[in-house]
Amino acid sequence: AQSVSQHNHHVILSEAASLELGCNYSYGGTVNLFWYVQYPGQHLQLLLKYFSGDPLVKGIKGFEAEFIKSKFSFNLRKPSVQWSDTAEYFCAVNSGGYQKVTFGTGTKLQVIP
């Protein structure tokens, strides 16, 4: 069964600091990987996705993520965060030709002005 781990539950950063949120998945086959963001009081929105090709994926709002197959990881990064990035971030995976998407438990990011 596929599963996703997000080890950072709550991250607090000052504006302009760099961000890296960890995501590890457990599945040995072909995977599709996603990062979603949930701003306070809103629904989840897609930030970026990886299906194949270049393992460095660029998303909206300056976010990027790198797929490292050997480490089963798909960490999210942003060089310089803004107060408006305060939100909860979810890593998600589907795999094995199976449409079910499994989400991690989420990481709450708080950016202090």
Partner 1 sequence: DAGVIQSPRHEVTEMGQEVTLRCKLISGHNSLFWYRQTMMRGLELLIYFNNNVPIDDSGMPEDRFSAKMPNASFSTLKIQPSEPRDSAVYFCASSLGDRGNPYNSPLHFGNGTRLTVT
* Binds partner 1 (CB under 8 A): choice among 11, 13, 17, 101: 101
| Alpha-carbon torsion, ordered 37, 60, 49, 69, to 10 deg | -100
Q: Which tokens go with 49?
A: 């996705």
* Binds partner 1 (CB under 8 A): choice among 40, 43, 53, 113: 43
Q: Which tokens go with 37?
A: 């963001």
* Least distance (Å) between residue 15 CB and partner 1: 27
Q: How many residues does the chain have?
A: 113
Q: Are strands 64-68 and 31-38 parallel, antiparallel or unpaired?
A: unpaired
100 binds partner 1 (CB under 8 A): yes
| Alpha-carbon torsion, ordered 19, 12, 21, 17, to 10 deg | 10
* Backbone torsions φ then ψ of 5, nearest 5 degrees: -120, 130
Using CB under 8 A as the binding rule, the residues of this chain from 45 to 84 that contact partner 1 are 45-46, 49, 51
Using CB under 8 A as the binding rule, the residues of this chain from 14 to 33 that contact partner 1 are 32
* Binds partner 1 (CB under 8 A): choice among 34, 63, 67, 74: 34
Binding window for partner 1 (CB under 8 A); candidates: 20-28, 67-75, 77-85, 100-108 = 100-108
The site for partner 1 (CB under 8 A) is made up of 32, 34, 36, 42-46, 49, 51, 90, 92, 94, 97-106
